[in-house]
Structure 1
Amino acid sequence: MAVAAAQGVRLHHISRETSDLNRLGTFYQEILVFERIESPKFPDFEVVWLKLDHIYLHLIERNPQSKLPEGPFSAPEGCDSVDPKAISRGHHLCFGVSNFDSFVQKLKEKGVRTFETTRPDGKTKQVFFFDPDGNGLEVASC
């Protein structure tokens, strides 16, 4: 039996590049209750680090020289005009919540466009939506 190249592997953090750190940070703090934590000071760019339990989200100031698009979808002023049904099944982050119905209600109260469905097994509810930079998000019932 071969020995694995890496041992004790776990997810360390997720990074998202953005042109507006405060807007994106506030979104994740208000919608998914991430806590803003101390962030290092880099000489060439700004960052905001967020934490939720054991999940770390690193928001990084977009490199203006980057050839990458603003996000997976190009909609003016965020992604309100993009249908959440269009979120690619392979390009999104998923979080689980224990208060699914009230969470979805909070999204709607904040004007976030959503797409709700239930997995084929009928046991798990899902809601799909975009963050302000057009990154696809899913929240599932736990």
Structure 2
Amino acid sequence: MIEFERIHHVSLAVRDLSKARTFYSELLQFKEIERPPFNSKGIWYAVGTQQLHLLEHPMGQALRESGIDSVDGHFAIWVKSFKDTIQWLEQAGIEYEARPKSVAGFAQIYILDVDHNIIEFDAAYDS
């Protein structure tokens, strides 16, 4: 039996690393961390104790074109405050879909990055 400890990282394909860096580093203010010198283009971020790896796909393949679809592949980040996250997204001009009373048992917010990768922010109800 495998003894799981935690998710180490999530990797997302991006079309343009420069545009992705602007979104994740400047708009979302993720902390960039050192990436080994692979033979590919990419950026790594610390997200709490886990990591997000952005990989520039040279052919732009396997990338989404559609809008928010919570049934599609995505990753989720637990945030301290639903209300503060909504306020911050609005100030940053980032479109979102909010589900403050989701049947999931916690509040959910969905956004798209510049390559239509879905990011979910979760928080306790009424936080």
Is the shorter-chain TM-score for this pair beyond 0.5, marking a shared fold?
A: yes
1:26 is paired with a residue whose SS is helix
Closer, same or farther in 2 for the Cα pair 1:57/1:127, shift >3 Å?
same
State which structure, 1 or 2, has the greater radius of gyration over its C-alpha atoms.
Answer: 1
Q: CA deviation at 1:32?
A: 4.3
Q: CA deviation at 1:97?
A: 0.7
Give the match for residue 65 of structure 2: 73
Q: CA RMSD in A?
A: 2.2
Q: CA deviation at 1:90?
A: 4.1
Closer, same or farther in 2 for the Cα pair 1:88/1:102, shift >3 Å?
closer
Q: CA deviation at 1:95?
A: 0.9
2:110 is paired with a residue whose SS is strand
2:94 is paired with a residue whose SS is coil
Give the residue type in structure 2 aligned to 1:120.
Answer: V
Give the match for residue 3 of structure 2: 7
1:112 is paired with a residue whose SS is coil
- In the alignment, structure 1 residue 24 sits paired with structure 2 residue 20: yes
1:50-129 equivalences under 5 Å are 50-64=45-59, 68-69=61-62, 71-74=63-66, 82=67, 84=68, 87-117=69-99, 118-120=101-103, 124-129=106-111
Structure 2 length-normalised TM: 0.81
Q: Which runs of 5+ in 1 are unaligned?
A: 75-81
Closer, same or farther in 2 for the Cα pair 1:18/1:90, shift >3 Å?
closer
Identity score, percent: 28
Q: CA deviation at 1:115?
A: 1.2
Closer, same or farther in 2 for the Cα pair 1:8/1:29, shift >3 Å?
same
Q: Distance in 2 between matches of 1:92 and 1:24?
A: 16
1:133 is paired with a residue whose SS is coil
Q: Distance in 1 between matches of 2:106 and 2:56?
A: 35
Structure 1 length-normalised TM: 0.73
1:24 is paired with a residue whose SS is helix
Q: CA deviation at 1:130?
A: 0.6
